[in-house]
Structure 1
Amino acid sequence: MRIGIIFGGQSREREISFAGGRTVYDNLNKTLFTPVPIFIDSLGNFILLDWQYLYKGTIRDFYPSAEHLPHSPHFFQVYAESLQNEPDRLEKSMAAVGQKITPDQLSKHIDFAFLALHGPYGEDGNIQGILEWYGIPYSGAGILPSSIGIDKEVQKRVLKTAGFETPKSTSIERSQWLTSQSAVIQNLEREFSYPMVIKAPHQGSSIGVSIAQDKNSLLAGLNRSFFIESIDIASWKAKSDEQKRNFLVTFTDIREGLGFPVLVDGEMVYHPENLWELLDQSKESTLKLESPNGEALVLVESFIEGREFSCIVIEDENGAPMALPPTEIKKRTDLFDYRSKYLPGISRKITPIDLPDQDIERIMRKSEALFTALHSQVYARIDGFFTAEGDIFLNDPNTTSGMLPSSFFFHQAAEIGFNPSQFLTYIISRSISARLNAGKKIYHLLTLAQTLRTSLQQAAAHQGEKIKVAVIMGGFSSERHISVESGRNIYEKLASSGKYLPIPIFLTGDETKHLLYQLPINIMLKDNADDIREKITQHSEVTHPVIAEIRKKAHHLMEQFAYEEALQLESLTYDELATRVDFAFIALHGRPGEDGAVQEQLELRDVPYNGSGVESSRISINKYDTNELLRANGILVADHMLVYQEEYQQNPEKTIESITSRFSLPLIAKPADDGCSSAVKKIKTREELVAFAEMMFRTQEAFLPEPMRTLNLKANEEFPQKNFFLVESLISAEGADKFLEITGGMLTHLQPDGSLSYEVFEPSEALASGEVLSLEEKFLAGEGQNITPARFADTAEGYAAIAKSVKETLEKTARTIQVEGYCRIDAFVRISGQQADTIIIEINSLPGMTPATAIFHQAALNNMKPYEFIDQIIQYGFARHQVEK
C-alpha cells in the first residue's frame, strides 16, 4: 500500500510537521507499506519530495534551495514566502527538490494519505476536504471535527454547551487592539486577575501562547499573539552586524519571530536583507512590524492553577473511544510552549499522571466524552488541568498530535505495548474504517482493508527469521540524552524493516560497573536518559492498575498489531546479552562506548558490533592524545594543553597565568576525554577561564552560582565534573577568503584482500547561532542549520578541487586513528583561492545518529537512506567479526 505522508504545510508549526513526517516515513512498516513523501510548502504547493531531503535538519536547509536564493551578503536561510514575488526562483527550487504535483494527481502516486500537518490548512479540515474531493482515504479526523479542533474560540463554545468546565475567557479583536491598547488593558485588568493566559486561536497548541504576570507582559503577550512587534530604531542601530544578523535569524524563525513577509508601516518586506536595510535607513524612533498572516482576534483566559496533563484518545476496533494513560507535564516554566514540547530535557512527562486511580479514571472518561462531543475520529490529543480541588479542565483538543519519537502520541501508545511502527499501522487500519463510515468509495476501502489484514498475517509469520540486534543506548556521560535519541532512532529504523528485530538495551552504572537493562517499549520512549534511569530504579514488578486495565481492553488490538515487544523491564549481564542477540549496535556517545570499554566486553563474549575497535576508540576519546598523534602525522590541529585539577587547586593564579601566557584570548576550553559538545566554551576573558576551571573541578554535582552566571550556563545544561580539561587556541580565518566549520562522515568497506577502503562523504557546513555549535544544533531536528554539501566554492570546478583536498585530509585523519566502520570528523577549513587548509577539531568514533544529524544528509548524497546506511554499518561489523574469527 502506497502511503503518502503529507507534511510541512503553511502553518507556523511546519518544522515540527516536517520532523513528524520524517518520523512517520521512518517508522512505517516497510513489509506492509511503501512510504511516499508529499511535502507541502508554505505557499501551498504540493511537492513529491525526493527522499534525500527528508533528512535535512530544517525545511530551510533545503527549500528554497540555496542556489536559487537571491543574493544575501549575510546569508539568511528563508522560507518560500520570501520568494513569492519571484516565481522563476520558486519553480526552480521546487524542481531541485522533487516534482511539483497538483492535488488531482495525488491518486496516481498514493493509495492513502497519512496527515502529519499541524495548525491552519492541516488540522482545520482544508486538506481533509481536498482528499475527500479526490477520493483518497486519510488518517485521523474528518472535516467537521478538524474544523472545530483548530478554532480555540469555537472549542470554548462547544465545551460549554457539552457541559465541560472551562476557564473564564474573553476575546480581543485586532481593530480594538490597534486603536485602543490602554483601554483593552484596563478592561482586562478589571475582568481578570494576573496571571492571564493569552492565545492565538488558530495557531495549533504551541505558537502565539504566553502567560502574562503583569501589565508589561500582558502588553507583550497580546502583541505576540497578534504577531505584532515594535523595533526601537536607536537600539537597532547600536547593534553590531553580528547582533543584527542574530536578531534577524530569530525573526525569520516562525516559531519565535514574526517571519516573512512582514508589514512595516504598510510596506511589505519579503527578505531579512531588505528589512536590515530599511531599519538602518529609518528616521523614525520606532517601527511597527506586523505579520500579514496574524490573528483577527486573540483569546484571553484566566490562569488555571493545577497539574497539566495530556491524554491521547484512540478508537478501539469497534469505533468506541478509548483513552490511553494520561501524561502529566512537569515544566521548568509556567508555559508548555514549543520548545518545552519538542526539546528533550526542558520538560518531563510522567505516565500515568501521579494521582489516585479514581482521578486518573475521571480524566480518561472526560477525555473520551470530549472526543465524542467533538465528533472526533481515529485519535485525538486532549490537554487539560487537574486542580487542587479535584476539578478537571479540558482546554485544548487537537485532532493531530506531534509525532516525534517521544511525543505523547507514541509515548502513551507504548504504555499498552505498541512500538511506533505498530501504532502507525493501527492508525492506518482504523482510519480506513473511519472513511468507510462516510459511505464513499466503499469497494476501494474494503479492498485496502483486506489487503492490510493479509499483509499483517504474512509479516507476523516471518518474525522469527529476523536478525536480533541489541541497540545499546544511554550511558553516564554528559551526552547520555543524545545517546538515547540516537538509540531510539536506530531502534525505529530497524523495527520498521523486514530484516532486523531490535532489542533496546539501556546502559547505566559507572566506569567500574556497567549495568544493562532490556527495556520495554514504554520505558524506551521516556523523555531522556535520566527519566529512563529513574524509571529503572523505581521499577515495580506490578503494572500500574490503570495501565493494566487499558492493556486488558486493548488485548485484541495487541494480538493483531503488536508482537515481539517486551512489556517488562529486565536486568541483564553481558553474558546474558550475548545469548540473546546476533549483533550489538552501540549507540552510546562519550564514555562508555567511544572509549572502547563496551567494545572490550563484547569482544570477550564474541558478539559482533558496530564502529571502531577497542584501541582506536581509546585514542579518539582522548582529544589531547588524538591531537598529538595527528600533529605528529602532519595533520593540522589547534595548539593545545591539558589543565589538571591538582595543579590548579595548588596555585590557581599560576595555572591561569600559564594558560594566558601561552594562548591569547579568546580560546576554547572543553572536556578532554568525553563527547563532542557538552561544556565546549569560547573563553573571552580571564574571569570566564577561572569560572570554567571552577566548574570543571567542582566537588559537588550542583552548579556553582557565580561561575554559572559568568559562563551564562542554563540550569539544565550538561557540564561534567572532571579532574582535567583541554585548552585550545581559537581557530580563526587568519585572512582566508572563506572560513567554514564542517563535519564530515564516512563509511569503511572491507576489500577482498582484507584491506580497508574509505567512502568519505561530502562534508556539511555547520552554522552556529552562538559562539560554538550547541548540542541541540548538532543533533536535534529543527535546531541546527546545516548546508550539505558545504559552500567551499562558487563554481563546480572550484568545489571539486577543494572538496577533494578536504576529504583527503579527513581520510588521512581516519586512517591515522585507525577508524573502522564509520565515523564523523569535525574540522575548520580555511580557503584562499584554490588552496584549502583543513584543521581537525575532533573525531567521533560513534557519531550521533539522531534523525536529523548531518551524517544522514551526507549518506543521502551517496544514495543511502538512513536504514541502508545503518544496514551497511551492521554488515561491516559482521564482516570484520568473521575475518577476526
Structure 2
Amino acid sequence: MKIGIFFGGTSREREISFAGGRTVFDNLDKALFQPVPIFVDSLGQFILLDWQYIYKGTIRDFYPPVSSQPPSLHHLQVYIESLGELDHEARFHAIAKVGREVKAQELPQLMDFAFLALHGPGGEDGAIQGLLEWLGIPYSGSGILPSAFGIDKIAQKNLLHALGRPTPNFRVITAEEWDRTDHAATLAYLVRELGLPLVLKAPRQGSSIGVSILKTDDLAKFEAAIDKSLFRKTLTRADWQRLGEQGRLAWVQHLTDIREGIGLPVVLDDETVPVYHPEALLHTLTERLETAESVRLTNLDGETQVLVESFVAGREFSCIVVEDPNGQPLALPPTEIVKGEELFDYRSKYLPGLARKITPIDLPEEKIQEIREACEEMFRTFGFQVYARLDGFVAHDGRLFLNDPNTTSGMLPASFFFHQAAEIGLNPSQFLTYLIRTSLAARRRAGLRPVKLAQLLARLDTAVTGRHTADTERIRVAVIMGGYSSERHISVESGRNIYEKLSSSAKYAPVPVFLTGSADEHKLYVLPVNVMLKDNADDIREKIEHAEAGETPHPILERIRREAGAITSTYAGQALAQPRRISFEELAQLADEVFIALHGRPGEDGALQQELEKFGLPYNGSGVASSSVTINKFETNQRLREAGLRVAEHRMAHKLEWQADAESFYRGLETQFPYPFIAKPADDGCSSAVKKIKNRAELEAFCQLIFRTEEDLLPGPAGVLSLGFKEEFPRKDAFLVETLIGRDGAAHFLEITGGLLTSYDEDGQLDIEVFEASEALATGEVLSLEEKFLAGEGQNITPARYDADPAERQRISNEVKAVLRRVAEVLDIQGYARIDAFVRVRPAGEVEVLIIEVNSLPGMTPATCIFHQTALAGYTPYEFIDRILEFGKARAEKAVSAAS
C-alpha cells in the first residue's frame, strides 16, 4: 500500500513535523507499505521530496536551496518565506532542486493513504483533511470537524466550561482590546479574577510556542508575555544601542526563530510593507532606530487573541487515547511530566533527559483510572477519531483538569505517542500499522469511498497476518545501547534508531539489549519494547533495578493490556516481559550478530569487542586494537602527529598534579597554552564537558568540576562555566588541554565532520569510502549536545562550503577526503567512523586539515549528519546500517578462515 507521508508544513512546528515525518518514513513496515514523502513547504506547496533530503537535520539545511537565496553577509539560514514574493518560475526552480512540485489533483495517483505528520495550523485544523476528503484519499487521525475544534484552545475552553467539565479558569484578550485598554488595569483585573501565577497562551499553537507563565504582577513582564503570545516584539533605541554588532545579529536571529521568537515576515509599527529576510531586518532596525525611540515588530501570521488561564499547581500528565477495533476510545497509560522548570517547553519536550516521563503516572490505580475515563470522555465529547493526545493536571487537592487536546501528537522516536503504545507491547512500526488500519476503518464509517476502502482493509488484514510468518526467518541482531558514561542518553537514542530501522525491514529482527554496570563488570539486559522506549538511559536503568527487586508492573498496566488484547494479539510480535539479565554466552544464543550503539566507554574502547570475539559474534565498527587507541584523544593525536598529520598542540592535565600544587598546575598550563584554549575529557564525546577556557577563573572552575569527588555538580563552578540545565559533566582523573584552533589568516576556515565506510574488495583488501564532509555551525563556543543530536536544532551543511566555485570546492573536498582516508589507515579504522576536523584554505589555495577527534562508533540518532553524508553517496540510512552489519559479518568470516 502506498502511504503518502505529509510533513513539514506552514506552522511554527514545522521542524518537529519534519522530524516526525522522518520517523514515520523510517518506521513504516516495509513489508506492508511503500512510503511516499510529501514535504509541505512553508508556503503550502506540496513537494514529492527526493528521499535523501528526508535525512537532513533541519528544513533550512536543504530548502530553499542555496542557489535560490540572495547573498547573505552573515550566512544566515532562512525558510522560503524569507525570499519574499516569489514568482512561479522562482518557486519552480527552488522546488526542482529537492524534488518536484505536486498539484493537489495528482495526489490520488501517488498514494492509497495519507499519513498526516503535520502540526498546528494547516495540519491539525481540518484544512488538509478537507482537501483529502475532496480528493477521496483516506487519511490518518481525526476528520474535518474534530480537527478544526482541536486546534482552537478557546473553543475547547468554552465547550468544557458549558458542559461543566473541570478546566482552569480563563479569560480571552483580543489584540484590538489590548491596543486600546490600560495595560496595568488589565493585569489587575486578571490577577483579581484568575490569581497568580497566570498562564498566557497563543490559542492556535502547539509545542509550548507562544506560552509564558507570569509569577508576579510585574507589568513589564506581563506586556512581554502578551507580546509573545501575539507574536509581537517592541524594541527601544536604548536597548538596540546597548548591543554590539554581534549582539544585534544574535538578537535578530533569536527574534526570527519560529520556535522561540516571532518569526518572519514582520511589519514594523503600522506599516503595510513586510520585511522578509533577517539581513534586511538587521539593516532596517539599525536605520530606523537612529531616529525613532522604539519600533514594534509584528509577525504577519501572528495571533489575534491571547488565552489567559489560572495556573494549576499540581502534577502534569499527557495521555494518548486510541480507538479500539470496535471504534471505542481506549486510553493508554497516562505519563507524568517531571520537569526542572514550570514550563514544559520546546527543548524539554524533544531533547532526551531534560524532562522525565513517568509511565504510568505514580498515583493509585483508581486515580489513574479516573484520568483515563476523563480522557476517554473528552475524546468522545470532542468527536475525535483514531487517536489524540490529551493533556491535564492533577491538582494538589486531587481535582482533575483537562486542557489542550491535540489531534496530532509529536512523532519523534521517544514521544508520548510511541512511548505509551509500547506499554501495551507495540513497537513504533506495529503501532503505525494499527493506526493506518484504524484510520481506514474510521474514514469508511464516515462514508468515504466505502467499497474501495473495504478492499484496502481486506488487503491490509491479509498482509498483516502473513507478516507474522515472515518474522521467524529474519536475521537476529542484538542492538546494545546505554552504558554508564555521560553519553548514555545519546547512546539510547542511537540504539533505538538502529532498532527501529531494522524492525521495519524485511531482513532483520532486532533484539534491544541494555548495557549497564561498570568498567569491571558489564551487565547485559534484554529489554521489552516498553522499557526500551523510556525517555532516557537513567529511566531504563531504574526500570531494570525495579524488576530485579521483584517489583511487579503497575496494576493499571495489566488492566490496560487486557483491554488492548484485541489490538496486541493481531499487531504485537510477542507478549511484554520484564527486563532479563543475560550473559555474553546467552547473548550468542540470542543473536546472530551485534550492533554496538554505545558511545565512549564502554563500546568504543575495545573491551566489549573483546568479549564478543570470544563467542564468535560479528559486530560493527573497528576492532579491539584500533578502538583502544581512538577512545583516547591524546593517544590518537600522538599517533596522527607521528604519521605527519596535523593536530592541535596538546597535553594531559592530571588530578594528582592539581592536588599537589594547584597554583603551579595552573601556571604551567597558562605558560604552555595562552588563553583561550580548549579543555575536555580525553575519552568522552558528544561535546560533554568540552569548554573554551578564557581565563583563570574558568580554568579553576573546570578543574573543580572534573576533579570533584561527589556525583552532583558544584553550583559555584557550574555557574562560572554557564552550564546548561542538566548538562553532563563527567568526573575524571585527567583531562586534555589543546590550543584553540583558529583561522590563522586563512581565506576559508570551517569546522567539519566526515564519515566513512569500509568494505572488502574482490581481493579481500580493505576499501575505505570517505563521504562528503558536513560543515558544522556552532551558535556558541563549541557545538552543543542539542546542535549535534536534536532534530531541527543544529546547522550542518552537507557538503561543506569550502568555496563558492563548484570546481574549486570539489578540489578542496578531495584533498580533505584524502587526509581523512589517511587518518583511517593510520589508526586501522574498520566498519565506519566519523572524523572531526578544522579546515583552513590559504589565499593561495593550500589546504590544511587539523584533526580534532575520531569516533569509531559515531552517533546514529535520526538527525545526526552522518546520514546526510551517506544519502549524498546514495545510501538510505537502512542501507548504510545494512552495509555496516554485512562488513562485520564478512570480517568475522575472514577471521575464522585465517584461524583455520
TM-score over 0.5 (shorter chain): yes
Assess if the C-alpha contact under 8 Å between 1:829 and 1:837 holds in 2.
yes
SS where residue 852 of structure 1 aligns?
coil
SS where residue 57 of structure 1 aligns?
coil
1:244 CA drift (Å):
2.6
Assess if the C-alpha contact under 8 Å between 1:84 and 1:90 holds in 2.
no
Partners of 1:90 and 1:639 lie apart in 2 by 49
Instruction: Indicate the residue corresponding to 2:490 in structure 1.
Output: 482
Instruction: Indicate the residue corresponding to 2:74 in structure 1.
Output: 74
Instruction: Indicate the residue corresponding to 1:370 in structure 2.
Output: 378
1:599 to 2:609 alignment: yes
Instruction: Indicate the residue corresponding to 1:141 in structure 2.
Output: 142
**Mapping of residues 245-260 of structure 1, within 5 Å:** 245-260=249-264
Partners of 1:728 and 1:638 lie apart in 2 by 6
Instruction: Indicate the residue corresponding to 1:222 in structure 2.
Output: 226
Partners of 1:385 and 1:235 lie apart in 2 by 39
Partners of 1:38 and 1:21 lie apart in 2 by 9
Instruction: Indicate the residue corresponding to 2:654 in structure 1.
Output: 644
Range that drifts further, 314-323 or 542-551: 542-551
Assess if the C-alpha contact under 8 Å between 1:7 and 1:17 holds in 2.
yes
Instruction: Indicate the residue corresponding to 1:712 in structure 2.
Output: 722
Instruction: Indicate the residue corresponding to 1:454 in structure 2.
Output: 462
Instruction: Indicate the residue corresponding to 1:269 in structure 2.
Output: 275
Instruction: Indicate the residue corresponding to 1:755 in structure 2.
Output: 765
Amino acid of the residue matched to residue 363 of structure 1? I
1:348 to 2:356 alignment: yes
**Mapping of residues 861-872 of structure 1, within 5 Å:** 861-872=872-883
Partners of 1:757 and 1:425 lie apart in 2 by 40
**Mapping of residues 85-104 of structure 1, within 5 Å:** 85-87=85-87, 88-104=89-105
Partners of 1:264 and 1:487 lie apart in 2 by 48
1:333 to 2:341 alignment: yes
Partners of 2:693 and 2:874 lie apart in 1 by 41
Instruction: Indicate the residue corresponding to 1:436 in structure 2.
Output: 444
TM-score by length of structure 1 reads 0.99
Partners of 1:774 and 1:537 lie apart in 2 by 31
Name the Cα RMSD after superposition: 1.2
**Mapping of residues 490-501 of structure 1, within 5 Å:** 490-501=498-509
Partners of 1:263 and 1:144 lie apart in 2 by 33
1:575 to 2:575 alignment: no
1:32 to 2:20 alignment: no
Amino acid of the residue matched to residue 195 of structure 1? P
1:846 to 2:862 alignment: no
1:397 to 2:405 alignment: yes
Instruction: Indicate the residue corresponding to 1:810 in structure 2.
Output: 820
Assess if the C-alpha contact under 8 Å between 2:677 and 2:693 holds in 1.
yes
Partners of 2:229 and 2:85 lie apart in 1 by 27
Instruction: Indicate the residue corresponding to 1:208 in structure 2.
Output: 210
Assess if the C-alpha contact under 8 Å between 1:822 and 1:845 holds in 2.
yes
Partners of 2:824 and 2:234 lie apart in 1 by 51
Range that drifts further, 502-511 or 389-398: 389-398
Partners of 2:255 and 2:714 lie apart in 1 by 33
Q: Structure 1 residue aligned with 2:712, among 674, 679, 702?
A: 702
Partners of 1:232 and 1:597 lie apart in 2 by 59
Assess if the C-alpha contact under 8 Å between 1:745 and 1:763 holds in 2.
yes
Partners of 1:246 and 1:633 lie apart in 2 by 41
Q: Structure 2 residue aligned with 1:197, among 180, 196, 199?
A: 199
Deviations 1:640-686 (A, max 9, x none): 01100001110111111111111111100000122241000011111
Instruction: Indicate the residue corresponding to 1:667 in structure 2.
Output: 677
Deviations 1:391-430 (A, max 9, x none): 1111111111010111111010000000000000000000
Partners of 1:233 and 1:619 lie apart in 2 by 56
Partners of 2:630 and 2:179 lie apart in 1 by 60
1:179 CA drift (Å):
2.5
Partners of 2:227 and 2:854 lie apart in 1 by 46
Deviations 1:190-223 (A, max 9, x none): 3222100111111125211111112233222111
Partners of 2:380 and 2:472 lie apart in 1 by 40
1:367 CA drift (Å):
0.4
Assess if the C-alpha contact under 8 Å between 1:230 and 1:287 holds in 2.
yes
Deviations 1:205-242 (A, max 9, x none): 52111111122332221110011111233332333333
Amino acid of the residue matched to residue 339 of structure 1? R
Assess if the C-alpha contact under 8 Å between 2:13 and 2:207 holds in 1.
no
SS where residue 52 of structure 1 aligns?
helix
Partners of 1:133 and 1:114 lie apart in 2 by 16
Instruction: Indicate the residue corresponding to 1:825 in structure 2.
Output: 835
Assess if the C-alpha contact under 8 Å between 1:9 and 1:42 holds in 2.
yes
Assess if the C-alpha contact under 8 Å between 1:419 and 1:565 holds in 2.
no
Partners of 2:865 and 2:90 lie apart in 1 by 26
1:566 CA drift (Å):
4.6
Amino acid of the residue matched to residue 859 of structure 1? T
SS where residue 320 of structure 2 aligns?
strand
Partners of 1:249 and 1:529 lie apart in 2 by 33
**Mapping of residues 44-123 of structure 1, within 5 Å:** 44-87=44-87, 88-123=89-124
Partners of 1:514 and 1:248 lie apart in 2 by 49
Task: State the identity as a percent.
Answer: 56
Amino acid of the residue matched to residue 278 of structure 1? T
Instruction: Indicate the residue corresponding to 2:156 in structure 1.
Output: 155
Range that drifts further, 400-409 or 386-395: 386-395
Range that drifts further, 215-224 or 835-844: 215-224
Instruction: Indicate the residue corresponding to 1:721 in structure 2.
Output: 731
1:565 CA drift (Å):
6.1
CA pair 736-80 structure 1, distance change in 2 beyond 3 A: same
Q: Structure 1 residue aligned with 2:624, among 614, 617, 635?
A: 614
Instruction: Indicate the residue corresponding to 2:512 in structure 1.
Output: 504
Instruction: Indicate the residue corresponding to 2:170 in structure 1.
Output: 169
Amino acid of the residue matched to residue 771 of structure 1? E
Partners of 1:416 and 1:676 lie apart in 2 by 33
Amino acid of the residue matched to residue 80 of structure 2? A
Amino acid of the residue matched to residue 871 of structure 2? A
1:66 CA drift (Å):
1.9
Assess if the C-alpha contact under 8 Å between 1:353 and 1:360 holds in 2.
yes
Amino acid of the residue matched to residue 268 of structure 1? P
1:526 to 2:537 alignment: no
Amino acid of the residue matched to residue 236 of structure 1? W
Deviations 1:216-275 (A, max 9, x none): 332221110011111233332333333333222222220001111011122411111111
Partners of 2:693 and 2:249 lie apart in 1 by 22
Amino acid of the residue matched to residue 86 of structure 1? L
Partners of 1:78 and 1:146 lie apart in 2 by 30
1:600 CA drift (Å):
0.8
SS where residue 465 of structure 1 aligns?
coil
1:541 CA drift (Å):
5.3
SS where residue 281 of structure 2 aligns?
helix
Amino acid of the residue matched to residue 194 of structure 2? F
Partners of 2:340 and 2:308 lie apart in 1 by 23
Partners of 2:194 and 2:551 lie apart in 1 by 48
Partners of 2:82 and 2:26 lie apart in 1 by 30
Deviations 1:792-816 (A, max 9, x none): 1111110111001000000001111
Assess if the C-alpha contact under 8 Å between 1:120 and 1:204 holds in 2.
no
Amino acid of the residue matched to residue 43 of structure 2? L
1:160 CA drift (Å):
2.2
SS where residue 280 of structure 2 aligns?
helix
Instruction: Indicate the residue corresponding to 2:746 in structure 1.
Output: 736
Instruction: Indicate the residue corresponding to 1:317 in structure 2.
Output: 325
Assess if the C-alpha contact under 8 Å between 1:521 and 1:565 holds in 2.
no
Assess if the C-alpha contact under 8 Å between 1:764 and 1:789 holds in 2.
yes
